Structure 1
Amino acid sequence: MARPQLGVASVLALALLVVRAIPKGVHSVGVCYGVNGDNLPPARDVVQLYQSKGIKLMRIYFPDASALNALRGTNIGVIMDVPNDKLASIASDPGAAAQWVQTNVQAFFPAVSFRYIAVGNEVAGRDTGNILPAMKNLKAALGNAGLGDAIKVSTAVQSGVTQGFPPSKGTFSQGYMGPVAQFLQSTGAPLLANIYPYFSYTYNQAQISLDYALFTSPGTVVQDGDNAYQNLFDALVDTMYSALENAGAGSVAIVVSESGWPSAGGDAASPAYAQKYNQNLINHVGRGTPKRPWPIETYVFALFNENHKPGIETERHFGLFNPDKSPAYPITLY
């Protein structure tokens, strides 16, 4: 639907709400820690790597007890996923949600600094109907455990849940997203968004230039009213923000829960391009987007290459580090 025209007072009020909703600690850049690979170091060594590199945020994709125990007392902020195959039981049974929280959160809190619970990652098909009920049950379970204010409940989505161009025309293309967005607004939680200019570029090379995807365009590529877009990352994030506004959830902040570039396995996948994208991403997110010009909490995907990760070949080549903890290519995280 068309965005309503807002008066000056309404714009200022919306801006204040959004500023209040920005998660704390957004100046930090995190790294996603997946374990679908051979010869990866043990979790205690991984956590030491985070500490030695000054990485203050981590995303894990299931309640990994080894990682959680290694994280105790480190003050590394954590996104922890509820795996997609657990959503149905948690959505249908508040008791299952309470048990999940007790086993995987209360058992480690406050020694582990949980930030968000991601209720599913890029959930698709009929399973999307489980997202909101599971979020509600987990939110209630955290509240009953006295953790409702400390840990926010969200879900991780990909750019395909939006449609529209230019970014100001963004809307949600999936019907379940409107109620999810409104729930996030009611609870003060951010939307977790996996933002991949790489895939947008490779699937649409006739319309998208490599420079636009890599943050290296010399000037404006897309002019959208007063907002000038010089890189695709900003355009994708701001399309998501417009979709939130159109869903009546304009005060919801976005946390970029994944972004990265592969070093092998497909078009434009090389160590040089991966280094360029990830370094430019890290350098850029402190400035925010044209629509929201303040720092974006961002998690780079991923710590290691994961040779058992399913999907197309590039999925297995996103690592920043080798299994011996040496850099896959030069990168400055801070």
Structure 2
Amino acid sequence: MQKVMAAVPWVALILSFVATIHNHIGLVEASADIGVCYGMLGDDLPAVTEVVNLYKTNGIGKMRLFDPNPAALEALRGKEIDVSLGIRNEDLPQLAGSVDAVNSWFATNVEPYLNDIVFSYISVGNEVIPGSLGIYVLPVMESLQKILDDRNLAGIKVSTVVPGSALGVSFPPSSGEFTLEASSVMSGIVAFLAQRGSPLLINVYPYFAYASDPVNIRLDYAQFTATSPVVKDGELSYYNLFDAAVDSFLAAMEKVGGANVDVVVSESGWPSDGNGDFTTPELAGTYNRNFLKHITSKAGTPKRPGAYIEGYIFAMFNENQKPEGVEQHFGLFHPNMQPVYPVF
């Protein structure tokens, strides 16, 4: 027993060293498994330590945090779960106006954890483009990047999360183009990402497209279950709406100078309840299992075959304090940590 106890500090030291190497040098590739978004908008959710253990138990190697929750970050120390960390939308104006404020944000929310947590991304805002907060994104990204450069933290990539509504044209995929409002800020952001070798984080929801137009959008196309091409775009054939959406973003970035910028799917999912026959546990389970299979197969998309596109399922739990009008049942697990349907 004494020998085991004596080994514990060495294990902690090794984990700390691995996290530091990853964060600093960026030589360690992101784990090729699936990520899951950890939303915390609920008053009946389990303690963060239990949630982190639930990630580990189910082999979920990546977590997206929408804001730097101190309890969650503490619970993640040494757990070998890659973290994508978000900056709250409401903090963007203040941060954009003050380099000192960005330094303070980093010193509080990232620096104390660098030796114990692998940070994959810091996302500057969530779905603020297009919108009035969009102009603040790039200045904050640039300030954050300077901090990372000064500390040789090349393993942490700075980006922002963009919704499908940033695209003015999405069909066919090769015609993908940002809206006029979005392109006014996206051109600068994409140039930044291209220069730094960082990806754009995109939210992709075939569910919303299908639910809004079930007459023209086939269910099998939305759920990865079509067995023959559904959409032809020049030489490219599309079997699923997910690939088409991703390639629309890639085409849009090409049009503003980002031909070599990669994407990470920061959210995708299907609700199990809340919208009649469109939202059943069976449909949600089928989508998320196929999404997981598609991501981990590294099949890429028709535009970029064989490319590894990292992906995060939304979300870990059914949360009971979502903003009005938002589906409340995207969770993989109930608050009691029992699965809503089998995925892992």
The answer, yes or no, to whether TM exceeds 0.5 is: yes
Residue type of the alignment partner of 1:331: V
TM-score (normalised: structure 2):
0.87
- State the partner residue of 2:263: 254
Q: For residues 125 and 106 of structure 1, what CA distance do their matches in structure 2 show?
A: 30
Percent identity for Structure 1 against Structure 2: 45
SS across alignment from 1:63 = coil
Inter-partner Cα distance in structure 1 for 2:343 and 2:132? 40
Do structure 1's residue 121 and structure 2's residue 126 form an aligned pair?
yes
Q: Is the counterpart of residue 179 in structure 1 residue 179 in structure 2?
A: no
Contact 2:34 2:292 in 1 (8 A): yes
- Residue equivalent to 2:311: 298
Per-residue deviation, 1:112:
1.1
Tell me what 2:210 maps to. 201
> What secondary structure does 1:40 align onto?
coil
CA distance in 1 between counterparts of 2:149 and 2:134 reads 24
Native 8 Å contact 1:266 1:313 kept in 2: no
**Alignment of 1:58 onto 2:63:** yes
Match of 2:79 in 1: 74
Alpha-carbon distance between aligned partners in 2 of 1:91 and 1:166, rounded to the nearest angstrom: 36
Deviation, structure 1 residue 313: 4.6
**Distance in 2 of aligned mates of 1:65 and 1:164:** 38
Residue of structure 2 in register with 1:16 after alignment: none
* 1:20-169 alignment runs, 5 A limit: 24-25=29-30, 27-123=32-128, 124-144=130-150, 146-162=151-167, 163-169=169-175
Equivalent residue, structure 2, for 1:283: 293
Q: Please state how far the C-alpha of 1:210 moved relative to its aligned partner.
A: 1.5
Partner residue, 1:230: 239
Unaligned runs of 5+ residues in structure 2 are: 1-25
Residue by residue over 1:149-176, the C-alpha shift from the partner in whole angstroms, topping out at 9 and shown as x without a partner, is 1211000011111224211111111221
Give me the whole-angstrom Cα distance separating, in 1, the residues matched to 2:272 and 2:341: 9
1: distance between equivalents of 2:189 and 2:272? 34
Q: Which amino acid counterpart does residue 212 of structure 1 have in structure 2?
A: Y
Cα distance in 1 for partners of 2:72, 2:211 equals: 34
* Larger CA deviation: 200-209 vs 146-155: 200-209
Q: Note the aligned Cα RMSD (angstroms).
A: 1.7
Contact 1:26 1:296 in 2 (8 A): no
| Distance in structure 2 (CA, Å) of the matches to 1:265 and 1:148 | 43
Aligned equivalents of 1:187, 1:214: Cα separation in 2: 34
Q: Secondary structure at the match of 2:237?
A: strand
The SS at the match of 1:107 is helix
Contact 2:31 2:61 in 1 (8 A): no
- Which residue of the partner structure matches residue 23 of structure 2? none
Q: Residue 30 of structure 2 contacts residue 120 of structure 2 at CA under 8 Å; is this kept in 1?
A: no
Q: What displacement does 1:236 show?
A: 0.1
Structure 1 residues 240, 225: closer, same or farther in 2, change over 3 A? same
Cross-structure match for 2:222: 213
SS at match of 1:125: coil
Structure 1 pair 311–217 and aligned structure 2 pair: CA distance change class (3 A): farther
How many Å separate the matches in 2 of 1:23 and 1:289? 24
The answer on whether the counterparts of 1:265 and 1:313 sit within 8 Å (CA) in structure 2 is: no
Asked if structure 2 preserves the Cα contact closer than 8 Å seen for 1:121 and 1:155, the reply is: yes
Q: Which residue identity does 2:285 align to in structure 1?
A: Q
Q: What is the CA-CA distance between 1:77 and the residue it aligns to?
A: 0.5
Partners of 1:188 and 1:90 in 2: CA distance: 23
Distance 1:192 1:26, change over 3 A: farther
Equivalents in 2 of 1:98, 1:202: separation in Å?
43
Work out whether residues 23 and 190 of structure 1, in 8 Å CA contact, stay in contact via their aligned partners in 2: no
Deviation at 1:147?
A: 4.5
1:311 and 1:280 map into 2 onto residues whose CA distance is 29
Q: Is the 8 A contact 2:38 2:64 kept in 1?
A: yes
Q: Residue type of the partner of 1:273?
A: L
Displacement of 1:47 after TM fit?
0.6
SS in 2 for 1:274: helix
Q: Tell me the secondary structure at the aligned position of residue 74 of structure 1.
A: coil
Tell me the distance in 2 between the aligned counterparts of 1:249 and 1:182.
6
CA contact (8 A) 1:260 1:318 kept: yes
